[in-house]
Amino acid sequence: MNTRRIPELFGSMVFNDKAMRAYLPEETYLALKRTIKNGKSLDKTIAGTVAAAMRDWALERGATHFTHWFQPMTGITAEKHDSFITPDNADGILMEFSGKELIKGEPDASSFPHGGLRATFEARGYTAWDPTAYAFIKDETLCIPTVFYSYGGEALDKKTPLLRSEEALNRQAMRIIRLFGNEDVTKTQTTVGPEQEYFLIDESVYRARKDLVLCGRTLFGAMPPKGQEMDDHYFGTLKPRVNAFMKDLDEELWKLGIYARTEHNEAAPAQHELAPIYSRTNTATDHNQLTMELMKKVAARHGMACLLHEKPFYGVNGSGKHNNWSISTNTGVNLLEPGDSPQENTQFLLFLAAVIKAVDEHQDLMRFSIASAGNDHRLGGNEAPPAIVSMFLGDDLNAILLAIEEGTVYAPENAMVMKGGVHTLPRFSRDATDRNRTSPFAFTNNKFEFRMPGASASIADPNIILNTIIADTLAQFADFLENAEDLNEALQQLIQNTIKKHKRIIFNGNNYSSEWVEEAERRGLLNLPTTMDVLPYFVSPENIELFTRHKVFTAEEMRSRYEIMVENYCKTLQIEARTLIDMIKSDILPSAFREEQQVANTLLKKREALSGLPSKAEESLLRQLADLADRLHSGCFHFEKNLQKAQNIKDFYEQGLYYRDHIFTGLQELRGIIDEMETIIPAENWPFPTYYDLLFSVH
What CATH number does residue 200 fall under? 3.30.590.10
153 Cβ partners below 8 Å, 6+ apart? none
User: Considering the domain boundaries, does residue 562 fall inside one?
Assistant: no
Contacts of residue 305, Cβ cutoff 8 Å, sequence gap at least 6: 200, 201, 202, 203, 206, 207, 212, 296, 299
Residues 171, 52 share a domain? no
Long-range contacts of the stretch 565-568 (C-beta < 8 A, 24+)? 565/371, 565/372, 565/531, 565/535, 565/538, 566/532, 566/535, 566/652, 566/653, 566/655, 566/656, 567/113, 567/115, 567/652, 568/113, 568/372, 568/373
Residues in a beta bridge with 441: 391, 450
What number of other Cβ atoms are within 10 A of residue 235's Cβ? 12
Domain of residue 79, CATH code: 3.10.20.70
Is the Cβ–Cβ distance between 154 and 560 less than 8 Å? yes
The count of domains in the chain is: 3
pLDDT recorded at residue 87:
86
What does the pLDDT read at residue 612? 61
Give the angle 665-666-671 at the CA atoms, nearest 5°.
100
Please give the pLDDT value at position 428: 37
Give 243-272 as a 3 state SS string.
HHHHHHHHHHHHHCCCCEEEEEECCCCCEE
Residue 125 lies in a domain: yes
Same domain as 182, residue 244: yes
CB 319 within 8 A of CB 170: no
Same domain, 151 and 228: no
Look up residue 323 and give its DSSP letter.
E
Exposure string of 15-41, with b = 16+ CB inside 10 Å and e = fewer, is: beeebbeebbeeebbebbbeebeebee
Residue 558 in any domain: the answer is: no
User: In angstroms, how far is the first alpha carbon of the chain from the final one?
Assistant: 23
Asked if 375 and 457 touch (Cβ cutoff 8 Å), the reply is: yes
Q: Is residue 89 part of a domain?
A: yes
79 lies in a domain? yes
Are residues 280 and 380 both part of a single domain?
Answer: yes
Domain boundary among 526, 553, 580: 553
In a domain, 590, yes or no: yes
> In the chain, helix, strand, coil percent, each to 5?
50, 15, 35
Q: How many CA atoms lie within 13 A of 135 on its CB side?
A: 25
* pLDDT, averaged in runs of 10, over the chain (699 residues): 80 95 94 78 83 96 95 90 87 86 84 73 82 94 94 91 97 96 92 96 97 98 83 82 95 95 89 94 96 98 97 94 96 90 85 97 97 93 82 87 81 53 46 69 92 96 98 98 93 94 94 91 95 97 98 96 96 98 97 92 77 75 94 97 96 96 97 96 94 93
Please report which helix (H) or strand (E) contains residue 699, including its range: none
Instruction: Report the alpha-carbon angle 294-299-301, nearest 5.
Output: 100
Within this chain, do residues 408 and 331 fall inside the same structural domain, yes or no? yes
| Amino acid in position 360 | D
Q: Which residue range is the domain that position 619 belongs to?
A: 569-695
Treating both helix axes as pointing N-terminal to C-terminal, what angle do 487-502 and 460-482 enclose, rounded to 10 degrees? Answer: 130
Is residue 538 domain-shared with residue 580, that is, in the same domain? no
- Partners of 108 in the β-ladder: 124
State the CATH number of the domain containing residue 630: 1.20.120.1560
Cβ–Cβ under 8 Å, residues 656 and 569: yes
563, part of any domain: no
Whether 349 and 455 map to the same domain: the answer is yes
Same domain, 170 and 147: no
What residue type is 453 in one-letter code?
P
Could you write out the DSSP letters of every residue in 442-488? Answer: EE-SSSEEE--SBTTS-THHHHHHHHHHHHHHHHHHHHHHHT-SSHH
pLDDT the model gives residue 106: 84
Residues 293 and 392 both lie in one domain: yes
Who contacts 538 (Cβ-Cβ below 8 Å, separation ≥6)? 364, 365, 368, 558, 561, 562, 565
In-domain check, residue 561:
no
Q: Which of residues 135, 157, 179 is at a domain's end? A: 157
Domain boundary among 523, 553, 583: 553
Identify whether residues 145 and 28 lie together within a single domain: yes
Alpha carbon distance 547, 545 (integer Å) = 6
Q: What are the pLDDT digits (tens) for 191-226?
A: 999 999 999 999 999 999 999 999 999 999 999 888
Q: Does 185 lie in the same domain as 284?
A: yes
3-state secondary structure 41-52: CCCHHHHHHHHH
The answer to whether 326 touches 169, Cβ cutoff 8 Å, is no
Contact at 8 Å (CB) between 245 and 698? no
- 149 and 171 co-located in one domain: no
* CB-CB neighbours of 640 under 10 Å: 17
